[in-house]
Amino acid sequence: MKRLRRHYIAFGPDRVNPKREFFEIDPMQAIAIIKLMEIEDVTPKVANEKEEVDEIDREAGEAYAKKNGHVFPSAK
C-alpha cells in the first residue's frame, strides 16, 4: 500500500475538509507519528550542503533566479 494512501486511512477521521489535505490532530500525536516514520536525521548533511556549493553552481543559480525574476540575498 502506498504511503500516501496509508496516511489517508490513518488520518481520514481527522480531515478538516474532504477535498483538502489538512488534518486536525493533537500536536503530540503528530510528533509521535513523525518519530515513528523517522529513518535518518539528514539535518546536519543538508545544513552543510550550502557550504559545498562551488562558485560556478552559485553563479548559475543566481543567473537562473535573475532570469526568472527571483531575488535572493547574496550568500557570499
pLDDT (0 to 100) of residue 1: 63
Return d(Cα 1, Cα 74) in angstroms, integer.
44
Check the CA dihedral 55-56-57-62 and report its sign: positive
Which of the residues in the chain have pLDDT under 70? 1, 3, 50-52, 71-76
Q: Are 58 and 75 in contact (CB under 8 A)?
A: yes
Bridge partners (DSSP) listed for residue 23: 15
Residue with cell 489517508: 8
